[in-house]
């Protein structure tokens, strides 16, 4: 395997010394980039883009060709796993993801199989292999998955939701069925992430976008417990290097200690938590990734630079910080504003690293 030319991101995740704070952006390949929109047009639609390894590779590399980012993230979606379980994923313009066959009762859940990643999700593994090859060691490649709870909300609702009426309805009315679904998803996600590592992913991130909608007790029982099972089952080394695992529960700022207890390497933070306080709580055990409010990027480059400086100062001296947004970049952000953020992170962080 090719030597990594820039391993700042992996080093920071393992709390090893770095020369400056590494940075990448959630949804860095996406609609805010005109070149992304052009490639999606060429593919036909979003899912066709995900299913074409060459084009998925092309859009993965687009933000890296524009900005000096320290990591690449596989271009795909968290909902490929439920799709492979037979739910029939499609994206309707302006409405987000939808499933043709949502799962709403015990019989439907019992009938679900755990997909073989090299069969039903082969196109994702082919994308990982293609991207790793094309990256040629420029930066590490992040593989990812949704958390079981987050995937379950989409599978039960049949798409995005604001109310969680059906998914939380099942959790409260028929917890045994919800647990059965979450168990199957934990198995599917573990196999999927391990296959991504085998195909070339060098770090892993679990997106628990909807864990923060739960009560503390339900978070532990219905989201964290299944992320714990996944962490316990993951391949943690490849090519003689540790494969760091990042857990991101949006809205999970009050549960950082519990999340760190899973044995993951790093926690993703949204913008509602002060990163300096988070470091005081768990920084001795895990690295932290985050946490600029994505809306900051609507502001002027000067305002963006000030906000970056505040986060770097709040985290303070030394390693263990990967700079990111607190959630995905919005489609209307001018790419030059993303550039200003990335440049500010690199320039203003050197003073905190004395290697």
Task: Give the contacts of 201 (CB within 8 A, at least 6 positions apart).
Answer: 74, 128, 132, 141, 142, 143, 193, 243
Q: Which is nearer to ligand CP3, 265 or 270 (CB)?
A: 270
321 membership: H or E segment, kind and range? strand 321-325
Catalytic: 27?
A: yes
Catalytic member of 37, 40, 104, 242: 40
Placement of tokens 């195909």 in the chain: 199
Q: For 188, phi and psi rounded to 5 degrees? A: -65, -45
Cβ neighbours of 5 (radius 10 Å)? 10
Q: Binding mask 303-342 vs ligand CP3 (x if CB under 6 A, - otherwise)?
A: -------------------------x--------------
Catalytic: 77?
A: yes
The end-to-end CA distance of the chain, in Å, is: 27
Least distance between ligand CP3 and beta carbon 45 (Å): 8
Catalytic member of 8, 11, 36, 77: 77
Catalytic: 239?
A: no
Q: Which is nearer to ligand CP3, 26 or 195 (CB)?
A: 26
Number of residues that bind ligand CP3 (CB under 6 A): 21
Least distance between ligand CP3 and beta carbon 260 (Å): 21
Please answer whether residues 269 and 253 qualify as being in contact, where contact means their C-beta atoms are separated by less than 8 angstroms.
Answer: yes
Catalytic: 285?
A: no
The DSSP line for 95-154 is TEEEESS---SHHHHHTPPPPPTTTTTHHHHHHHHHHHHHHTTSS-EEEEEE-HHHHHHH
User: In 199-305, at which residue ranges do the beta strands (DSSP E only) sit?
Assistant: 203-208, 237-238, 241-242, 245-249, 266-268, 287-292
Q: Does 207 bind ligand CP3 (CB under 6 A)?
A: yes
Catalytic member of 154, 192, 219, 315: 154
Q: For 52, phi and psi rounded to 5 degrees? A: -105, 100
Catalytic member of 11, 27, 98, 132: 27
Distance between CA atoms of residues 142 and 29, nearest Å: 13
Displacement of CA 25 from its chain's centroid (Å): 10
> Count of alpha carbons within 13 Å of 321, Cβ hemisphere only?
30
The interface region with ligand CP3, picked from 25-33, 162-170, 218-226, 347-355 by CB under 6 A, is 25-33
Q: Does 44 bind ligand CP3 (CB under 6 A)?
A: no
The interface region with ligand CP3, picked from 71-79, 106-114, 130-138, 185-193 by CB under 6 A, is 71-79
The interface region with ligand CP3, picked from 5-13, 23-31, 106-114, 334-342 by CB under 6 A, is 23-31
Q: Does 230 bind ligand CP3 (CB under 6 A)?
A: no
Please answer whether residues 326 and 271 qualify as being in contact, where contact means their C-beta atoms are separated by less than 8 angstroms.
Answer: yes
Least distance between ligand CP3 and beta carbon 125 (Å): 16
Q: Which is nearer to ligand CP3, 40 or 101 (CB)?
A: 40
Among 22, 53, 97, 158, binds ligand CP3 (CB under 6 A): 97
- The residues binding ligand CP3 (CB under 6 A) are 26-31, 40, 46, 73, 75, 77-79, 96-97, 144, 146, 160, 207, 209, 328
């Amino acid at each position: 395997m090719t030597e990594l030319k820039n391993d700042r991101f992996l080093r920071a995740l393992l709390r090893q010394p770095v020369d400056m704070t590494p940075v990448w952006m959630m949804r860095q390949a996406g609609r805010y980039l005109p070149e992304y929109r052009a490639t999606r047009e060429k593919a036909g639609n979003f899912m066709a883009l995900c299913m074409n390894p060459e084009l998925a590779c092309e859009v993965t590399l687009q933000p890296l060709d524009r900005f000096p980012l320290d990591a690449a993230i596989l271009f795909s979606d968290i909902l490929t796993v439920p799709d492979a379980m037979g739910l029939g994923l499609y994206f309707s313009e302006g409405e987000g993801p939808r499933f043709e066959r949502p799962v709403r009762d015990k019989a439907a859940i019992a009938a679900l199989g755990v997909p073989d990643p090299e069969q039903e999700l082969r196109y994702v593994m082919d994308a990982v292999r293609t991207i790793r090859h094309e990256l040629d060691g420029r930066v590490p490649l992040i593989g990812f998955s949704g958390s079981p709870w987050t995937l379950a909300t989409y599978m039960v609702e049949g798409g995005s939701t604001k109310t969680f009426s059906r998914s939380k309805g099942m959790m409260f009315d028929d917890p045994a069925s919800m647990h059965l679904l979450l168990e199957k998803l934990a198995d599917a996600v573990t196999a999927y992430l391990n296959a991504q590592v085998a195909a070339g992913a060098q770090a892993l991130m679990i997106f628990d976008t909807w864990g923060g909608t739960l009560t503390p007790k339900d978070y532990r029982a219905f989201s964290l417990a299944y992320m714990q099972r996944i962490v316990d089952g993951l391949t943690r080394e490849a090519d003689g290097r540790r494969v760091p695992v990042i857990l991101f529960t949006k809205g999970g700022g009050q549960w950082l200690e519990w999340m760190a207890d899973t044995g993951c390497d790093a926690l993703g933070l949204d913008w509602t938590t002060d990163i300096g306080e988070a470091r005081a709580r768990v920084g001795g055990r895990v690295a932290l990734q985050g946490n600029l409010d994505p809306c900051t990027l609507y502001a002027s480059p000067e305002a963006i630079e000030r906000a970056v400086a505040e986060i770097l100062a709040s985290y303070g001296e030394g390693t263990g910080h990967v700079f990111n947004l607190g959630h995905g970049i919005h489609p209307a952000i001018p790419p030059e504003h993303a550039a200003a953020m990335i440049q500010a992170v690199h320039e203003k962080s050197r003073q905190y690293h004395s290697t």
